[in-house]
Amino acid sequence: MDNFINASESTETDGGKTDSEYNIRINTKIEKLEKTVSYKHYSVLPIVVIFMYAFFSTSTTMILFGPFSIGMTLFPNKSSANTYGRSSSLCTVNTSSEEFKDSIIVNEYASVLNIYFTLASGLPSIISNVLFGAFSDYFGRKFLFIIPIIGSLVKNIACIVGIYYKMNYLVLIAGFLVEGITGVFFSMLLGGFAVVADITESDQRRSLGIALLTLGIGVSTVVGSAGTGYFISATNSFIWPLVLSCGLLVLCLFIAICILPETYIVEGDKEKNCRVVTTYIKEVFGFYYKKSSNRGMYNLCIWAFIFTNCEWKNNCRDVVSTESPILLEHYRGALLGSVAAIETACYMGGTVLTNAVYAKTESIMGGFVFFVMGGCSFLSMVLLL
């Protein structure tokens, strides 16, 4: 990593200024900004927490809607309970019943539908997160919140319209595609961790800020995922959770636009900065392949990260956020963007893999997909020992 930083410090930008000279100018701006940090800057926490609740509430709703919708399409003369293969006892399942066999067919089709949703949102978001992270180092952090909120709002509206009017699944996929172009929730997390790093110094305060943000993300993810199931059951509708998520997203958008201040300001020619960004994107990805004394450790961590899909992503981002020597101020957003891109690829790959395995093995050996997931976690553990 030292080699990576040293090689980057002497790079010349447009206009003949070196990166180190550029750093001095940016560090001066950051020092002025940190002296004026106010309570408004801490609005980043409710923005991220509320957004994550809305995102995972919507995700849970769509995951549950898939089998229900497909079941009603394939077996319109059967109740939803029979379609899912439920019996009078929650502890016993009659695997030879017609309802159980129908439920396997429904779940296989639902897994394929989830793959389409994941690919529609995952593929474009890989590119989006790289670009957003790099551009945030030159155009500020606020758009990292505004753009994904708008994208998720569009997706929610598409899902509401598609479900209410019983439209083709392509309408839902189009909503996921728009969300993918705007970075999904990875851009939101990128913005959240970048802002925490901007308004704190590399000490206990930054660690505390990252810990609080990570805790909020975890709580909102659990509540959004688990609570939505009860919400759907209580309202007997897939629409109301989506409506609630839309309202929460509008609230997030208001806070991001009207309350959250800009935390990273760079003076200069915006067009020139745009050209410089492309150079920094290439340099920042050197973190993953350039020679350094710790190259072997980084490679092991990356492979462990891949095998655990997204389970390790917050820890990886936390390490990057707290390592200020690695993050020469104008590299922070770009490096976090590269991490977000890797996270997105792992999240997409893991989701597609598990759904594909489930669809192909459920009728042969129910639950085999959990052995696959356990195997990936075991490989990750071995690599980290």
256 pLDDT exceeds 80? yes
Mean pLDDT over each residue of the chain, to the nearest integer: 77
Place of tokens 């909020």: 216
According to the 3-state scheme, what is the secondary structure of 120-165?
HHHHHHHHHHHHHHHHHHHHCCCHHHHHHHHHHHHHHHHHHHHHHC
Which of 91-100, 179-188, 316-325 shows the lowest mean pLDDT across its residues?
Answer: 316-325
Please state which of the ranges 277-281, 350-354, 376-380 shows the lowest mean pLDDT.
277-281
**pLDDT value at residue 309:** 55
Q: Tell me what percent of the residues of the chain surpass a pLDDT of 70.
A: 66
d(CA 143, CA 150): 10
- Out of 4.10.940, 1.20.1250, 3.40.1000, 1.10.150, the CATH code matching 2-384 is 1.20.1250
Q: Any idea which of 149-153, 252-256, 361-365 has the lowest mean pLDDT?
A: 361-365
- pLDDT range class, residue 358, cuts 50, 70, 90: confident
Nearest to 349 by CA among 146, 125, 181, 174: 125
Q: Could you tell me the end-to-end alpha-carbon distance of the chain, in angstroms, rounded to an integer?
A: 22
State pTM to two decimals.
Answer: 0.78
Residue 221 has pLDDT above 90, yes or no: yes
Q: Answer with the residue of higher pLDDT: 348 or 269.
A: 348
pLDDT, position 365: 77
Annotated domain spans of the chain: 2-384
